[in-house]
Structure 1
Amino acid sequence: MDWMQFVSALVSALAWPSAVVVVVCLLKNPILGLIPKIRSFKYGELHVDLTEALQSLQEDLPAAPSEPEAQPSKPRVEISIPLQIAAVSPRAGMIAAWLEVESALNVVLTREGEERPDLLPPRKKLDLAFNLGHIDRQQHDAFVRTSRLRNEAIHMLDRDITYEDAVAMVDVCKRLAESLHNPTPPVHGPHF
């Protein structure tokens, strides 16, 4: 093998890897621009879909109670604090909506004699409310799923969260908090 054959073999061996590296370098910015727009992610058994999870929660919860048919003298526009926050930062709006759920859980647990429920982790609060009969199994599951969405909003910073996602989360959290303020009659004894 002379030096020309060696160079030819070397060029032949490095041609495809070099082409791949060049293409990746040229397309790096467009690919990175697409990553935040990903609404769904699947890797092996893990599958995360933010929009689907929020829609599923909205369908599982009962409709918010309607207000009486009284005609107010002037139209009243009420925008909650989480919605105001979501207009600026949808991710922060989702987190603020969850805080209202935790606040409602704290009120219920304080009423039951729990000292400093604000120091308990959210899952512990949910389990206590469930065991005390303030929420049923379906509500408990909805609370847990909503808590997971809140965790994704906090920890998955590369995910794009839209204003519509935040509005859906605010709706779900509002219904969950209202279910704690206006509970269905509790079933006697803890649920297992």
Structure 2
Amino acid sequence: MDWMQFVSALVSAVAWPAAVVTVVCLLKGPILGLIPKIRSFKYGELHVDLTEALQSLQEELPAAANEPDAPPPKLSVPLQIAAVSPRAGMIAAWLEVEGALNAVLKREGLDSNTHALPRQKLDLLRDAGHVNGPTYRAVLRTFKLRNEAVHMLDREIPYDDAVAMADVCARLVESISTYSKAQSDFISG
């Protein structure tokens, strides 16, 4: 192999990687601008889609009962927060669910450890018969969505997702409170 063949082999080996690096460098800005707009992400077994998961939960949970003559409901705190920061609105909505879990635990005298993980609180309520199976599973799925909202900081959360999360959480609070209250009334009555 003479020096011309060596140079030719070197150029042909470096050409494609150099072209790819050049294209990536030129398109870096537009690509980074698209990342926050991604609503779904899949890599191997990992698949994250907040919108799809929230819609699924909304379909599974019963709708809140509205009386026909009732005035329109006041805008909830999570929705007020979501108007400024959808991510913070999702977290605020979850905190209402956690507050409902704490209230039932306190009312039933089951546990005074408010620093326990939500999963531990939920397990305790389920084992005591104060949360039914569908609500238990929905709370776990909602907690997972809350974690994704908290930890996926490189992704923009749309206001619609925050509204859906607030709706799901309001339904869960109602379900936790009414099922637990009905169980207590049934046992004491």
User: Could you say whether these structures have the same fold, taking a TM-score greater than 0.5 normalized by the shorter chain as the test?
Assistant: yes
Structure 2: distance between partners of 1:49 and 1:172: 16
Structure 1: distance between partners of 2:134 and 2:104: 18
TM-score normalized by structure 1? 0.88
Structure 2: distance between partners of 1:65 and 1:28: 50
Deviations 1:101-139 (A, max 9, x none): 111111100011134342111001111111122211011
- In structure 2, the residue corresponding to 1:87 is in which secondary structure? helix
1:69 matched to 2:69: yes
1:123 matched to 2:123: no
Aligned to 1:32: 32
Amino acid at match of 2:117: P
2:161 pairs with one of 139, 153, 165? 165
Amino acid at match of 1:54: L
Aligned to 2:23: 23
Determine if contact 1:109/1:117 at 8 Å carries over to the other structure.
no
How much does 1:33 deviate?
Answer: 1.2
How much does 1:32 deviate?
Answer: 1.1
Structure 2: distance between partners of 1:6 and 1:181: 77
Deviations 1:35-89 (A, max 9, x none): 111111112222221111000000000010113525x6xxx66111111110111
How much does 1:141 deviate?
Answer: 0.3
| Larger helix share, 1 or 2 | 2
How much does 1:7 deviate?
Answer: 2.3
Aligned to 1:87: 83
1:174 matched to 2:165: no
Determine if contact 1:110/1:117 at 8 Å carries over to the other structure.
no
Map 1:142-157 to 2 at 5 A.
142-157=138-153
Structure 1: distance between partners of 2:73 and 2:177: 23
- In structure 1, the residue corresponding to 2:154 is in which secondary structure? coil
Aligned to 1:11: 11
How much does 1:5 deviate?
Answer: 3.2
Structure 1: distance between partners of 2:44 and 2:130: 37
2:183 pairs with one of 157, 161, 186? 186
What is the aligned residue count? 185
- In structure 2, the residue corresponding to 1:42 is in which secondary structure? strand
Amino acid at match of 1:80: S
2:134 pairs with one of 138, 151, 157? 138
Aligned to 2:57: 57
Amino acid at match of 2:36: P
- In structure 1, the residue corresponding to 2:114 is in which secondary structure? helix
Q: CA RMSD for the aligned pairs?
A: 2.0
The percentage of counterpart residues that share the same residue type is: 69
Amino acid at match of 2:52: E
How much does 1:160 deviate?
Answer: 2.1
